[in-house]
Structure 1
Amino acid sequence: MTEVDILASTYSDSMNVYRYEEKENPFSHITDMGEVLKHSNILCELDYGQSGISYALAGETDGLNSDYTVFCRPEIDVIEGDKLVITHLGREYTCTAGLPFKWSSHLEIPVTMKKRV
């Protein structure tokens, strides 16, 4: 068993990765920008860890911005700005990916959740 497999065996969450890119309407053949599902049901781990900071959104009222880290296998293609929909303990969280850092054993993705409270 490799180090990648050992770490992946500890992941208990799952995520879908969406990317904003050009897509063609199959009926009109017009190209438009929109969210495209890049990966679905990927095993991951959402961690509140050291980056778990909550603060009010600048210039907005009743807003909350929380930073987390997501860990997954290193071969998963995630880029900065991707939308991640993570299922953690039966609850769905929608996040925006920061710049991922790739280790030989895992991918570490800083994410931000913005929500109105």
Structure 2
Amino acid sequence: MNNPFAVFWLDKMDIYRLAETETNGATVQVYPDTPTYSGVPCHYSKGSLTAVGDSGEPTLINKYTLFCGLDADAQEGDKAVITQSGGKSIIVTIGEGFPYSGHQEFAVKRREDA
């Protein structure tokens, strides 16, 4: 069965999952050089919220969300490199996921130094 939401997933993501490795006798977790999953269809979205702080001044807060199919094996803590349909790449850390009947949504934190 085709997923009706898939028409919106024009972006693609590569998912990197933390793996344990031995460095100088110590076990550390690092993201591998090659993705765990590659070319996963998705949609990256930015929303903005306005909050009023103690000073009474409005503050703009950006909120980023990642949408994908239920078959996408994205997990909290994964790193994703999202390539938008226009070619721009964005690096995010995947946060809490919310599965729905036809898709799943993840809160993501954008890496500003990317």
- Scaled by the length of structure 2, the TM-score of the pair is 0.72
Amino acid at match of 1:68: Y
Contact 1:100 1:109 (8 Å CA) reproduced: yes
Per-residue deviation, 1:9? 2.1
Q: How far has the Cα of 1:40 moved from its partner? A: 0.4
For the residue of structure 1 that corresponds to 2:36, the secondary structure is strand
Given the superposition, is the C-alpha separation of residues 21 and 45 from structure 1 closer, same or farther in structure 2, using an over 3 Å criterion?
same
Write out aligned runs for 1:47-66 (5 A): 47-49=45-47, 52=48, 66=62
1:60 — aligned with what?
none
Sequence identity of aligned pairs in percent? 33
For residues 28 and 105 of structure 2, the distance between their equivalents in structure 1, rounded to whole angstroms, comes to: 31
Q: CA offset at residue 33 of structure 1?
A: 3.2
Q: CA deviation at 1:48?
A: 1.2
Match in the other structure for 2:79: 83
How high is the TM-score relative to the length of structure 1?
A: 0.70
CA distance in 1, matches of 2:49, 2:92: 14
Corresponding residue SS for 2:31: strand
1:68 counterpart = 2:88: no
Question: In the alignment, residue 65 of structure 2 is paired with which amino acid?
Answer: T
Report how far residue 91 of structure 1 moved.
0.4
Partner of 1:43: 41
Counterpart secondary structure, 1:9: helix
Task: Say which SS state the counterpart of residue 48 (structure 1) adopts.
Answer: strand
Number of residue-to-residue matches in the alignment:
98
Matched, 1:100 2:97: yes
CA change 1:80–1:104 in 2 (3 A) is same
**Runs of at least 4 residues off by over 3 Å:** none
RMSD after superposition: 2.5
Match of 1:59 in 2: none
Unaligned runs of 5+ in 2: 51-60
Where 2:9 maps in the other structure, the secondary structure is coil
Contact 2:76 2:95 in 1 (8 A): yes
Distance 1:23 1:41, change over 3 A: farther
